[in-house]
Amino acid sequence: MEINILKSGVTVKSLVAALPGMGNVGGIAAAYLIEELKMEPILEILDYMPPYVIHRNSIIGFERFSFKVYWGGGDFAVFTGFYQPQDPHILYELCNDLLDLAVSLGVKRIYTLGAAHTGISSPEPRVFYAVTDARLSEEIESYGAQQMRGEGYITGFNGLLLGLAARRNIEGVCFLGEIDRPDVAQPRASREVLKRLSAALGIAHLDYTRLDEQVRKVEAYISSLKRFEELRQQRVGTDVPPGVM
């Protein structure tokens, strides 16, 4: 992938990396952090998308998708983008390119953000964690994250990036917010993830007012969706002839 340096001379200790996934937990959290801290892009990785151009009144326009690293003057940076590549080859390339950049920035630890689909709805979703070294567990648990029991997978960007980072001796931490519905945006889980991340990064105060408003809007939508589903089930249960609504 093509890399553009937008601001040189930046060094940071930590990199937060999140792309949209289940419930868009990581995407929402990363975007909110960037906006609240007024972070500016310092690096971009140009993607192989889109494979088309747009024409308006016979005039062709083209804008290549990109992933960006943002910095706000502190000792951490944030990487995010509009989507997560599904092609394994492109995903590996993106992760390795990002790790090359992380090394050049002096990064010692990477945090990824995502979702844990438990199917449980809670006013205070739990935040689970996974780490590349067991020695990190006590520290991460002190921020209020819980250990994931048993064995499983962390799919896509959130897991792969940390697996590859460990091979370069870069510490990795994944925060996973608990969600019940992966098909609906979950800002409440994003908020809980951000609380743990803020503690880990030493952010003294992060205003969650705008995120709380997102939570209210999404929960109102989910409530209306549940009512629709209940009404639909009731109608299905009546003596309506097949094919008739």
Going by pLDDT thresholds of 50, 70 and 90, the confidence category of residue 243 is: very low
Q: How confident is the model at residue 18 (pLDDT cuts 50, 70, 90)?
A: very high
Q: Give the CA distances from residue 167 to residues 78, 87, 162, 163, in Å, rounded to whole numbers and listed in that order.
A: 21, 22, 9, 7
Residue 81 lies in a domain: yes
pLDDT score for 69: 98
Tokens, residue 32: 């909110």
**In the chain, % of residues over pLDDT 70:** 96
Domain CATH for 158 = 3.40.50.10900
Nearest to 67 by CA among 15, 143, 120, 25: 15
> Which residues, other chains included, contact 107 with Cβ-Cβ below 8 Å and sequence gap of 6+?
12, 13, 14, 15, 77, 170
pLDDT for 44: 97
User: Per-residue pLDDT averaged across 122-141, rounded?
Assistant: 95
Domain of residue 183: give its range.
Answer: 2-209
Q: How does pLDDT run across 186-234, given as a tens digit for each residue?
A: 999 999 999 999 999 999 899 999 999 999 998 888 788 777 777 777 7
Contact of 227 with 172, CB cutoff 8 Å: no
In a domain, 164, yes or no: yes
The pLDDT of residue 241 is 53
User: Is residue 54's pLDDT more than 80?
Assistant: yes
Q: How many domains does the chain have?
A: 1
Q: Is the pLDDT of residue 149 over 80?
A: yes
In a domain, 231, yes or no: no
Q: What is the pLDDT of residues 86-129, one digit of tens each?
A: 999 999 999 999 999 999 999 999 999 999 999 888 888 999 99
Q: What is the pLDDT of residue 166?
A: 97
Using a pLDDT cut of 90, give the percent of the chain over it: 80
Residue 175 covered by a domain: yes
Residue 237 domain-assigned? no
CA–CA distance, 171 with 164 (Å, rounded to integer): 10
181 vs 199 pLDDT, higher one = 199
On whether residue 226 sits in a domain, the answer given is no
Q: What is the structure's pLDDT at 244?
A: 46
Confidence (pLDDT) at 132: 97
Asked whether residue 194 is domain-assigned, the answer is yes
**216 falls within a domain:** no
**Residue 39, SS3 per DSSP:** coil
Q: What is the pLDDT of residue 236?
A: 64
